[in-house]
Chain A
Amino acid sequence: MSDAEGAPEVGRKPAREPELGPGPEPSLATAGLTKAFGGVTALDSATVSFHHGKVNALIGPNGSGKTTFFNCVTGMIRPDAGHVTYRGRDLTGWPSHRIARAGIGRSFQLCRVFPRMTVLDNLLAAVRPRSLAGQLARSGGREETERARGWLTRMGIEHLERAEARHLSWGQQKLLELAGVLMSEPELILLDEPAGGVNPALIDRICDLVRELNAEGRTFLIVEHNMDMVMSLSDHVVVFDRGRPIAQGPPSVIQSDERVLGAYLGV
């Protein structure tokens, strides 16, 4: 199930596909993605692909390159080598706003909202006008305000719409960040540790939201350390260690993979 090297990984997947009939439609995929910071190789020729329309998870020990992977595929940092594709389209080297407009939204590990904007403005700032006239048009029109309120209601923070985001609790900020990402209408949503620092009740709520949104057609890619959450939520799990995938498959298979246990427990 798992291979020590990145290269055999590539060969393995197509070999399995005939058994499954037409394989899952690829969503985000990378080929040979490499990024080094000084002497530290954060991503080491990572070749990996995620499934469209599914909840995908990316796990691995601290420092295994998960966040660097997020930053490379969303254009926050430039990879040194390799390619990023999304549904067959090459996004390598695109600036992050173009990648966002291609339908990929993301949250940040240390939840980032616009602290001195109101909760409602946080969502209105995520509206992406396509035309010049649309950019010069007044912000906060009826349609977009209603859409924003809809997301806030769904997150359960609609009563805070006029509060400044910095006054919200950590959990509320996490929900606000997710609402902002949804407001930008992504097809694929990358969540960087959605359960980090969040109480169990809210974790359940976030899980429910992910399930609902996935059922409505959005693809997820989640980096998370909470294994209960990963295993119960995801359809497809990729395990990173030292900047490259060491295993991938459905949660049930990953859970019993020796290499994964080794990477986590340091055996």
Chain B
Amino acid sequence: MRRDSDTPSSVPFPRRRLLHLGALLAAVAVAVSFPSMAPSPYEITVGIAILNYAVLSTSWNFVGGFTGYISLGHGAFAGLGAYATGLLVAKGELPPFAALFVAAALVAVLAVPVGYAALRVRGASFVIVSIALVLVLLLVFQSWASFTGGSRGLVVPRPFPGMLRAEHHRTFYFLFLALLATALLVWWLIDRSRFGMGLKAIREDEDKAQSLGTPTYTYKLVVFVVSAAFTALAGGLYALWFGDLDPVFQFSILSGAYMVLMALLGGVRRLYGPLLGAVAVGYALEYAKVEYGDTPLHLVVAGLLLGVVVTFMPDGVIPAAAALLGRFRDTGRTSIREVTAAELRGRREQSDGKEVRDGERRGRGA
């Protein structure tokens, strides 16, 4: 919840901002140079998988992070984005990247009635409702084989037919990176806006926010649609990259659960929380799949991680680390616990001390 505007005290602020900027530039440099440093195309595919997770969990965080509505069904939007893109290319014969954006727009339109229904309920009920859509779509896409290819899968034509495999991966690595940057930028813009402030108020206390004049339902719906659109873009880009879709993987509860896990791990209140979570979980998942590919061990890893995060770091890694660091810094100005009762009394007396003491006397008399 630390925004630029939260830090009006001038002393530590420019240094922190400089540090922030330096870290950001370093991260961008590493991300951009990664494909040329990777020893083989395989490492690039791991990079793509992680970037894909990062876009998905950042997209999820538009709803989960701002409003606190935990959607376990966001996999549905990724799957729909993937299938819509694949079908528009394979059957609609649209140019691949036109298909990608048309698909995302279609999913955004579909997200309006879905959000309209789902966002009426809160808390655990919303979680359950959000799962329903994934399960329904899984059945539809499996059964309607004449259109979707069913369990045999849907082959999506490659967007760059002449391109070699390594070059194909490299290109998609940068496409995913650009999508991630866009999602992060939009999240950041919302975070610092009044719209974002309203969304965060919903997370804190929805009725209270509404009683202060925030049109909560509209706000939730708008951010839900934005979230669905970004999720669909990630799914569609995955379809163009991977080239083969299967309903079991596209409409899996797991993909939604991974988004939640990654965002929670990194910290849903932070811009880079889901990205950090995606790097950690994505790498762990890939590692488990490579080393113990024929066992479901990656699920055990994910489950354990979720348990550890929720138990020990309910706010995620970033706030936990920040809190740890904060112990070594001067917190005199940020924490009221650092102010003793005597100091507080002193300050009060300086400003309106007489009034308070008079009040106390009157209060005792009454």
Residues on A facing B (Cβ under 8 Å): 74, 76, 95-97, 100-101, 105-106, 108, 112-118, 120-121, 124-129, 134-140, 145, 156, 159-160, 162-163, 167-168, 180-181, 184, 199-205, 228
Contacts and interface: CB of A to CB of B under 8 A. Distances in A.
B210 interface: yes
Interface in B122-139: none
Contacts of B93: none
Contacts of A136: 189, 193-195
Given A134-B194, A167-B336, A167-B337, A95 B210 contact: yes
B205 interface: yes
A118 B6 CA distance: 8
Q: How large is the interface on B (under 10, 10 to 19, 20 to 34, 35 or more residues)?
A: 35 or more
A125 B336 contact: no
B363 A100 contact: no
Contacts of A125: 197-198, 200-201, 209, 212, 214
A162 B13 CA distance: 14
B194 A129 contact: yes
Given A118-B6, A139-B196, A156-B348, 9 more contacts: A95-B215, A114-B204, A124-B197, A137-B194, A145-B5, A199-B363, A200-B364, A204-B362, A205-B359
B192 A139 contact: yes
A168 B204 contact: no
Interface of B is mostly: helix
Contacts of B204: 114-117
B194 A200 contact: no
B192 A138 contact: yes
Given A116-B1, A137-B194, A163 B336 contact: yes
Of A100, A116, A201, most buried by chain B (CB within 10 Å of CB) is A201
A139 B194 contact: yes
A253 to B, nearest CB: 22
Interface of B: 1, 3, 5-6, 8-9, 189, 192-198, 200-201, 204-205, 207-217, 333-337, 339, 347-348, 351-352, 355-356, 359-360, 362-364, 366
B214 to A, nearest CB: 6
A100 B210 contact: yes
A115 B208 CA distance: 11
17 contacts: A74-B211, A116-B204, A117-B200, A124-B194, A124-B197, A128-B214, A135-B195, A136-B194, A140-B192, A145-B5, A156-B352, A160-B336, A163-B335, A168-B336, A200-B362, A200-B366, A201-B359
Contacts of B209: 114, 125
A89 to B, nearest CB: 16
Given A125-B198, A136-B194, A204-B359, A100 B6 contact: no
A114 B201 contact: yes
B212 A184 contact: yes
Contacts of B348: 156
A138 B193 contact: yes
A223 to B, nearest CB: 15
Contact of A97 (B189, B213, B355, B362): B213
A76 B212 CA distance: 12
Rank and list the top 7 A-B pairs by shortest CB-CB distance, nearest first.
Answer: A200-B363, A140-B5, A114-B204, A100-B213, A204-B359, A125-B201, A128-B213
B211 to A, nearest CB: 5
B363 A201 contact: yes
B336 A105 contact: no
A201 B189 CA distance: 43
Nearest to B208: A112
Contacts of A124: 194, 197
Nearest to A100: B213
A100 B162 CA distance: 61
